[in-house]
Chains A and B, each alone.
Chain A
Amino acid sequence: MNTISRRRFLGNAGLLGAGAVLADGALRGARADKPLNFSGWVFKPDTVKDYVEFYNKKHGGQVKYEAIPWTAYHPTMETRAFAGEIVDVMYCNHNNRERWYENGLIRPVDDLPGTDELKKKMTPANLDSLKSKDGSKLLGLPYFTSLFVLIYNEPMLQQAGIKAPAKSWDELVEHCTKLKRDKVSDTPFLPNWNNSPSGTMPQFMTDCFSEGANVFDAKNRVIVDQEPGAARAMERWQKVYKANLVNPEVLTKTSSTDTHRIFWTGRYAYHTNHSYYLKTIAGEPENSKLAPKKAKMAMYPGTGQTYMWTDSYVVNAKSKAPEDAWKLTKFLGGNLNGDWYVQRQWCLISGLDNPYPEMYDHPEIIASYDRWIDLKLLREQYKKGKVIAAYKEPWYGEYDTKAVATVHNIIRGTTTVPKGLKDLVALQKSLA
């Protein structure tokens, strides 16, 4: 039997170990700029998988995509960063972008090739929205932009003898009162007062803007207690709620998606929500009684200004393959493929808009939008979209969530309008 000396065994083991370490190092070097991790919240994950596959084939990528449920998305990404995991390219909503940047999770993209060209193509308001709080850095490329629109049920208005949708808030309340009185609808008005961050507070800002009120001052402090327009908007909300023109269950809906589905029933006359929801309301006859095109968009009443926001794709500051990560980001949020591939897909499939106006001259986009919305009117509404900078403040997320209860109390009349507005100001002060 062959024996092996202890010295020889240790020598061989050492060589084997060193070989393994070197091989791993060599392999890691060769792979370094190849596999990329890409994560986003769950929204049409099959569409995302399709274009990731397209990217991997056409642009030689090795992108691994993972979808995480929306509500857990941002904490999950932070927890993973905390544990040392690097996700090269990520979705990031507007409320978390500044926080991720300030804490070193993501990097600005200004110095990367092609950024200046994309900046020139973006609408200035959206570009501002994507910048850091001091306005000096671009923190990502756009995933989508949206804003609040007014949607109306045309057959219901016609049935009640109403010839044109409301142009003012007084007219809208008058229409709803008539529809209820004539028993055409039990609760004709469906505002997006749901309990999630995409519901009550963006709707609050929208209606304040439409009344000509500012919600924040230049230093991002809440000033609604000094704005007569904000008080007018809240008095109107109280009035429509008290007159039973709104279904009270909307206050416990947990998402804007759930809220817009209520409008599918055709039992409501007016609805305010994110623009892209009109695509399912007016464009999906298999789901909605108001398709095809029985529900339409009207210019938002009052000043016409509504709340607009931009969500984004961001690049991890610790990415081991920054060039590849940027290439993927440009494919997703820019125009790497030369035909706005991903941005175009979102427009066509979901009506998710983007801040590149030139895309809306494309015949394919025009034809697709024509099936569910008046594109010209939508583009006019975008010109009145108003962005805020307050979401770049560290306190904003908590304010935005906690303020919902105060606004719900105003709506239901459990607090007065002046006290409720003062409470909002006090809440922001307590968090700042």
Chain B
Amino acid sequence: MAVPRLGLRAVRLSEASFARLLVAPAVLAIVAVVAVPLAYSLWLSFTDVNLLRTSGAAIDLFGMRLPLYRWVGLKNYLQVFSDPLYWDSLWRTLYFVGAFVIEATLVGLGVALVLNERFPGRPLMRSLLLVPWSLSRIVVGLLWIGILDFEFGAFNGYMQRLGLLTGSVAFFKDGFSALNVLVSVYMWNQAPFATLLFLAGMQSISEDLYAAAEVDGAGYWQRFRYVTLPALRPILFLVLVLCTVNGFLMLDLIYILTMGGPANETTTISWLGFQTSFAFFKFGPGTAILYTLTALCLLLTLLYHRLILARFEPEA
């Protein structure tokens, strides 16, 4: 078939090259907003940063001056690893993340099982479920101060009014108690999202599987154990990964509820990194601390993948 002759010289592209061309703008955007800041912050973790320094070598990026600070090699990382506060914060972070992931997953799954059943008011319940998740964490923190505060908290107030308490419960009386409050408040905020994911997963399970299990004489728990849970495996992976990453990064509730105290007993790695960067203006060690967190998140994601998804075969 004759091809009409165009004014422009025809450029022949292979299918792969054409695909690359189409994807290029998106890749460029991702490089600009994700890869460059990541690479720059990684660079910062190996340098001696002073934000106020205005002279010296720099890169000009879209009119913005990015100073290239003095390279100090692994000094920031060595300094971080030799600080006992870092290790204390790391163990505390692991406790916080572990407790939060378990609580959020169990509560999320439990509520999803309830909301998967048919009962009057279910649509309203499903809508209300999202309220805690949709609140800003600053608001969540203030809300829970309003509930748990020793002097002004609604909990102590109502308990005293009902005659169930004579004094007040001090939820923040020591570091361990305050840390557990942080876990529970964060769970309250994040579990609805886990519920939503589990619910979506449950609704995609074929009714035929349950019918077949019932014919085989399986009870509720057996159906849950042998039908629901295996089918939810990819969702469980997603929930675990999201909860783990969110748990590691949680900062705002600490800022509102405890500021890492008393005596650093609610200081996690993310709070330590934030403080080092933005309170002490030590962006080199601060980014080094936060990159160790990134490494941990990646490691745990790989672990979950191996444990949960490795043997999972998606349906054809």
Interface residues of A (CB under 8 A from B): 71-72, 75, 78-79, 81-84, 99-100, 103-105, 186, 195-196, 247-249, 251-252, 254, 261-262, 265, 267, 397-398, 401-402, 404-406, 408-409, 412, 414
Contacts and interface: CB of A to CB of B under 8 A. Distances in A.
A78 B281 contact: yes
16 contacts: A81-B51, A82-B51, A103-B53, A104-B54, A249-B171, A252-B172, A252-B258, A254-B256, A254-B259, A261-B152, A262-B151, A397-B281, A398-B282, A401-B275, A408-B263, A412-B262
Contact of B52 (A78, A195, A406, A414): A78
Interface of B is mostly: loop
A50 B304 CA distance: 56
Contacts of A252: 172, 178, 257-259, 261-262, 266
A239 B171 CA distance: 23
B119 interface: no
Contact of A248 (B152, B174, B256, B257): B174
Nearest to A80: B51
Contacts of A412: 262-263
A195 B64 contact: no
A210 B156 CA distance: 36
Given A397-B280, A409-B263, A254 B257 contact: yes
Contacts of A72: 278
Contacts of B281: 75, 78, 99, 397
Lowest 9 A-B CB distances belong to which pairs?
A103-B52, A195-B261, A251-B262, A408-B263, A252-B172, A398-B280, A405-B263, A405-B264, A75-B278
Contacts of A75: 277-279, 281
A251 B264 CA distance: 11
Contact of A71 (B150, B255, B264): B255
B195 to A, nearest CB: 30
Contacts of B65: 84
A114 B106 CA distance: 68
A195 B258 contact: yes
Nearest to A414: B263
B170 A249 contact: yes
A398 B259 CA distance: 15
A79 B53 CA distance: 11
Contacts of B51: 78-79, 81-82
A265 B168 CA distance: 14
Give the residue among A99, A104, A405 with the most B Cβ atoms within 10 A: A405
B259 A247 contact: no
Contacts of B53: 103
Contacts of B64: 83-84
A252 B150 CA distance: 11
B170 A195 contact: no
Contacts of A404: 261, 263
B5 interface: no
Contact of B173 (A196, A249, A402): A249
Nearest to A318: B54
B244 to A, nearest CB: 26
A408 B261 contact: yes
A195 B262 contact: yes
A104 B261 contact: no
B274 to A, nearest CB: 10
A416 to B, nearest CB: 15
Nearest to A401: B279
